[in-house]
């Protein structure tokens, strides 16, 4: 629309107006004498005023030292966690796992564990403790068929310790290939304050013969 409006206005400016049919009598041109012309030019004078350049003022702005605001303390106990005394845990949703993985980054061990779980049967758990833990031990089991819950094996997962009231996410990885109807359940979390006796991190699976 803007192009059409501009074009219409341009045409109205260059279109000649109506020509009158009547002819006008020729009128003599006024003549001016040289003396009057000279006087008129003499009376004209132009004055030029010089404008002083503006002074450039350089201002220096100094940043004030602002003290960083302290980060708010995490809510305790954590929301939607199951309490087992001073230990808390919950199974995270897929959306929560995506958020945790996005924050951890693709170079983290947590992300590498998630890639293993693309092809293997895994579980996931978030845990926290009122006091610090030297390491975590997660006991779980592998089942087949959610209805019959046929036991296929047991899994012992060992993960790095956490500070007090720190939430950590742990993948429970089995060596069993991913199949329909297979799942990890019967999860129990243990916070150990002694030195670890197993490799950290690790997953030890024992098949049910």
- Per-residue pLDDT of 101-139, as tens digits, reads 999 999 999 999 999 999 999 999 999 999 999 999 999
What are the structural domains, with CATH classification, of the chain? 82-207 (2.60.40)
pTM: 0.66
- Yes or no: say if 203 and 145 are a contact pair by the CB < 8 Å rule: no
Distance CA 158, CA 202 (A): 5
Instruction: List C-alpha distances in Å: 70 to 73, 74, 164, 175.
Output: 9, 12, 18, 44
Hey, how many other C-beta atoms are within 10 angstroms of the C-beta on 100? 19
pLDDT at 65: 67
Distance CA 69, CA 97 (A): 29
pLDDT at 7: 26
Helices (H), 44-146: 94-104, 109-116
What is the percent of the chain with per-residue pLDDT over 70, rounded to a whole number? Answer: 65
- Yes or no: say if 181 and 145 are a contact pair by the CB < 8 Å rule: yes
What would the pLDDT profile of 17-40 be if each residue is shown by its tens digit? 333 333 344 445 555 444 444 444
pLDDT exceeds 90 at position 42: no
Hey, how many other C-beta atoms are within 10 angstroms of the C-beta on 5? 9
Side-chain half-sphere exposure of 29, counting CA atoms within 13 A: 3
Q: Which of 193, 190, 123 is nearest to 155 (CA)?
A: 123
Distance CA 161, CA 201 (A): 10
**C-alpha 36, offset from chain centre:** 82
Residues whose CB is less than 8 angstroms from the CB of residue 137 and which lie 6 or more positions away in sequence, other chains included: 156, 157, 158, 189, 190, 192, 198
Instruction: List C-alpha distances in Å: 9 to 1, 18, 19, 88.
Output: 13, 18, 21, 76
pLDDT at 208: 93
pLDDT exceeds 50 at position 153: yes
pLDDT exceeds 60 at position 4: no
């Amino acid at each position: 629309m803007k192009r059409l409006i501009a074009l219409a206005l341009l045409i109205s400016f260059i279109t000649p107006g109506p020509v009158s049919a009547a002819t006008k009598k020729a009128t003599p041109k006024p003549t001016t004498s040289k003396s009057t012309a000279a006087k008129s030019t003499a009376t004209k004078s132009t004055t030029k005023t010089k404008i002083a350049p503006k002074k450039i003022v350089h201002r220096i702005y100094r940043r004030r030292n602002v003290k960083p605001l302290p980060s708010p303390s995490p809510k305790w106990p954590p929301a939607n966690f199951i309490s087992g005394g001073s230990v808390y845990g919950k199974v995270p949703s897929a959306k929560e796992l995506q958020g945790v993985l996005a924050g951890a980054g693709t170079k983290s061990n947590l992300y590498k564990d998630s890639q293993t779980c693309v092809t293997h049967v895994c579980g996931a758990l978030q845990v926290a403790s009122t006091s610090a833990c030297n390491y975590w031990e997660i006991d779980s089991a592998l089942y087949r068929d959610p209805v019959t819950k046929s036991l296929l094996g047991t899994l012992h997962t060992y993960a790095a310790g956490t500070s007090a009231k720190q939430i950590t996410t742990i993948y429970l990885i089995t060596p069993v290939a991913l199949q329909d109807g297979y799942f990890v359940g019967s999860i129990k979390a243990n916070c150990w304050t002694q030195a670890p006796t197993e490799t950290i991190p690790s997953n030890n699976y024992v098949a049910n013969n």
